[in-house]
Amino acid sequence: MAPARSHRARLPGTIQPFLSYHSPTGSGGGPGDADPFDEKYGIDTSGIREIHTLDVLALPAARYAVRYGPSSAESIGARLDTLRIDYSRFAFIDYGSGKGRVLFVAAGFPFKEVLGIEFSRELHEVAQQNIARLPPEITRCGVVRSIHGDAASFEPPKSDLVCYFYNPFERPIMAVVAARLIARHDQFGCRIIIIYVDPQHREIFEETGKFEILDQSPHFLVLTTPPPQTGAHD
């Protein structure tokens, strides 16, 4: 049975249910404006970083990477709040998690764990610093971790998954990630929910025939595999 939508720990003064996504910076103002979300929690998740300014140019995956720009905290919360799932059965993964803003928001839901995979060590280390500042009063999940690594080789947990993508990389990497997620579903009966913002390569998921649309707008797409049968996996 789907739980009532009352599981989220509110981030005071920041999370309200928005129906659309904001600017790539996630703050309504211009480049020189202070970010209210960051100021509220004393963290650093704002600002756009082009790939050529990061410590990844020598990595093979850099050719398929997209610049870093944080999601809107309000919109992340709104999308997670409408899933109507038993969050405690799901692990949350942010692919291309950057400085960890999405992880910070997802920690306010009772997921069994919240994970981010980021191939820039520089951004990963900033995310670790931000996670260390998570206020206990808004943290309702299990562990929260930023993992330094390549999304294409990352092995997701063998559990139901909510996977978040903010157009993090180009088709070759996205296809590999999608194939691994579908294998989790096929081999272990895991339910896979995809939240895809700026879904440039949505056909990679849709053409598999494994997903149905839960919600969509011009700015985002939410997909799910069929819920698993009871007892299909731990």
At 187-230, the pLDDT tens digits run 999 999 999 999 999 999 999 999 999 999 999 999 999 875 65
Specify the pLDDT at position 23.
36
How many other C-beta atoms can be found within 10 angstroms of the C-beta atom of residue 33?
A: 11
Whole-number pLDDT of residue 22? 33
Share of the chain above pLDDT 70, in %: 74
Mean per-residue pLDDT, 30-36:
65
- C-alpha–C-alpha distance, residues 128 and 118, integer Å: 11
Token pair in block for residue 41: 């929690």
For residue 29, the model assigns a pLDDT of 41
Q: How many residues does the chain have?
A: 234
Which domains, ranges and CATH numbers included, belong to the chain?
Answer: 36-224 (3.40.50.150)
Q: Minimal CA–CA distance to 167: which of 206, 202, 197, 204?
A: 197
Confidence of residue 16 (pLDDT cuts 50, 70, 90): very low
Instruction: Specify the pLDDT at position 159.
Output: 94
Structure tokens at 130: 């931000």
Taking 60 as the threshold, does the pLDDT of residue 56 lie above it? yes
* 13 or 38, higher pLDDT: 38
